[in-house]
Structure 1
Amino acid sequence: MATMLLQHLITFSRVVETGSFTRAAQALNLSQPSVTKHVSSLEAFLGIQLLDRDGKRIHLTPAGEAVYAYAKRIHQAVLDCQATVQAMKSPDVGLVTVGSVHTIGLYTLPDLLADFARAYPHVRLMVKTAPMAQTLDLLLRHEIDIGLVTAPVSHERVECVPLYEDPVLVVTSPEPRFPLPHPVVMEDLGRLPVIGYQRGSRYRSFVDSALEGLGIHPQVLMEFDSHEAAKAMAALGLGIALVPASAARRDLEEGKLVEVRVQGLPRIARTTCMILRRDGRLSPAAANLAQFIRERFHGHGQAAVRPAPAEPARTRGAAG
């Protein structure tokens, strides 16, 4: 019934626009009796006359004018729906929503999405940043297509794709305001002033746990809720900061910070991962971005988080 009603509305609109049943039939590739039947069926369905027929001239009744306005809007809505669905079938157009923890959203996503946007300029991208648990929740509620998190996720409805390791670096100012041993050994991390991430955060808990496992209890001088603030204090020479390589890369390249190599310190790193729903319900555009992300990191190693060479005067000793 719905299909018939839509066709009857389209036929009725064409009769109004051409001013003739005959011309409407020609435009729709129908017989004139079929056009007449469509209009009559529509009038019967609505229970009111839509057209006045005065010889060969056709006039809209007041009800006909109202129905014609709705018929045009309905027909346009159907066309828009068809166009939207067709767009969703193509990897070159559509909307893709990415959820990300703040660190990835700030330091990794800008270059990544800029490159993707250059390759696929007609795909619209939306990014939502949130803590890791909330990013997972957004994915499960179908509010994002792809999630990017800083640790592996184990969930029966989620596929977790490791992308790269983001090592924790010890950094400070090229000219620190405190005595920096040469070389720096692991035990020094319990004596040097530390600019720390806020207590209770996932990152702070990860770093503290790794250091405590080595018998190191840092002297935290300041605590901040962002890597930018911690780096800024470290760049002023007030202490050392333990930050992800992805967050420190640009500051190291620009010489605002230097890496402090610590003898005996094992590699401490988090694994950045992409999370996807196992139901596989991705639009072609979203599936294309997921593949783009896979190839970006699996095909080019860890260039996105590789730190710049450290300043020799500050980095004697074994690599961390």
Structure 2
Amino acid sequence: MSDFRLKVFQSVAKNLSFTKASQELFVSQPAITKHIQELETYYQVRLFERQGSKISLTVAGELLLKHSEKILEDYKRLEYEMHLLHNEYIGELKLGASTTIAQYVLPPLLANFIAKFPKVSLSLLNGNSRGIEAALQEHRIDLGLVEGIFRLPSLKYLPFLQDELVAVVNAHSKFAVQDEITPEELPDIPLVLRERGSGTLDVFERALSQHNMKLSSLHVLMYLGSTESIKLFLEHTDCMGIVSIRSVHKELVAGNLRVVEIKGMPMQREFNFVQLQGQEGGLSQVFMRFAGLHSKNL
């Protein structure tokens, strides 16, 4: 039985969709169906229950999914270690990164990594921090990069980069006339913030709590799913956004946005690598070492 057939099964099982598995693996849907049928013939069991357009795992499917995750991980480690014998890095590395990191930090790093290790098949899943942690626990990615402050006990976090959140406004906003405000003034200012589950919102809430303030006491106009959406929203609405300083460098230089300091309310944070506990070595370790060497340029 090939590792690819197991990958097909795992993708169908995770997505509970032949169509999504086809899109994820860049394989035709009939080919996906054929792989599943061959697995069912080999084990002489049904792996999925078909109910109209929906599917669900059978008991046999649940069992195969449990073992396939370990088998595929062992395949990946074997491939890495065999090629390591002659100093050749080859294999598949599935990364996941929270939105700010994926958009404003990783692109140049990924380009350099691909140039250095052209035989590594690299992919990137983008989502908020909670989503990336869930993908890691579900074995949909090998290594995550997140920006939140919460820690899950089943995961291991390692520091990557320092970051800072800032309050920004349109340069022509009525709020742009002030260089500085106090935390107590925040409830009087309409805000646009990142969505629940984002590391950015986690850090902002923590900063508020240090001043005995809650998010519910603020005037939040919108929660949006990306920093780019927040920046576009600020172009058309007289309000304030809370974003990473890394995400607004070009807008600040161009004079389109302005930073308004919130006095006595620093919003420092750390970008972290995140792995499953006990999962070490392999291409994930290679990528982390590479990122560490290039972090000063990010």
Contact 2:200/2:243, CA 8 A, preserved across alignment: no
How far, CA to CA, are the matches of 2:137 and 2:175 in structure 1? Answer: 50
What is the Cα deviation at residue 200 of structure 1? 7.0
Q: In the alignment, does 2:233 pair up with 1:233?
A: yes
What is the Cα deviation at residue 209 of structure 1? 4.3
Q: In the alignment, does 2:264 pair up with 1:270?
A: no
What is the Cα deviation at residue 109 of structure 1? 1.6
Amino acid in structure 1 at the alignment position of 2:232 = A
What do the CA deviations read for 1:257-283 (whole angstroms, capped 9, x no partner)? 222233x23211232100133434533
Give the TM-score normalised by the residue count of structure 2: 0.61
Unpaired runs of 5+ in structure 1? 1-81, 305-320
Q: In the alignment, does 2:178 pair up with 1:182?
A: yes
Q: Where does residue 220 of structure 1 map in the other structure?
A: 220
How far, CA to CA, are the matches of 1:201 and 1:120 in structure 2? Answer: 31
Contact 1:163/1:294, CA 8 A, preserved across alignment: yes
Q: Where does residue 98 of structure 2 map in the other structure?
A: 101
Q: Where does residue 127 of structure 1 map in the other structure?
A: 124
Contact 1:91/1:286, CA 8 A, preserved across alignment: no
Q: Give the aligned CA root-mean-square deviation in angstroms.
A: 3.1
Q: Where does residue 34 of structure 1 map in the other structure?
A: none
How far, CA to CA, are the matches of 1:281 and 1:188 in structure 2? Answer: 47
Q: Where does residue 279 of structure 1 map in the other structure?
A: 278
Quickly say closer, same or farther: Cα 1:224–1:276, change in 2 above 3 A.
closer
Q: Report the number of matched residues.
A: 216
What do the CA deviations read for 1:212-231 (whole angstroms, capped 9, x no partner)? 53255433233323221111
Quickly say closer, same or farther: Cα 1:160–1:224, change in 2 above 3 A.
closer
Quickly say closer, same or farther: Cα 1:118–1:153, change in 2 above 3 A.
farther
How far, CA to CA, are the matches of 1:295 and 1:83 in structure 2? Answer: 25
Q: In the alignment, does 2:115 pair up with 1:118?
A: yes
Quickly say closer, same or farther: Cα 1:91–1:138, change in 2 above 3 A.
farther
Unpaired runs of 5+ in structure 2? 1-77
Name the SS for the 1:260 alignment partner.
strand
% of aligned pairs identical?
21
Quickly say closer, same or farther: Cα 1:201–1:295, change in 2 above 3 A.
closer
Contact 1:146/1:290, CA 8 A, preserved across alignment: no
Q: Where does residue 257 of structure 2 map in the other structure?
A: 257
What do the CA deviations read for 1:109-161 (whole angstroms, capped 9, x no partner)? 21221121222223221112234344234334443221111135645553311
What is the Cα deviation at residue 169 of structure 1? 0.5
Give the TM-score normalised by the residue count of structure 1: 0.57
What is the Cα deviation at residue 180 of structure 1? 4.0
Q: Where does residue 294 of structure 1 map in the other structure?
A: 292
Quickly say closer, same or farther: Cα 1:158–1:202, change in 2 above 3 A.
closer
Contact 1:195/1:222, CA 8 A, preserved across alignment: yes
Quickly say closer, same or farther: Cα 1:173–1:237, change in 2 above 3 A.
farther
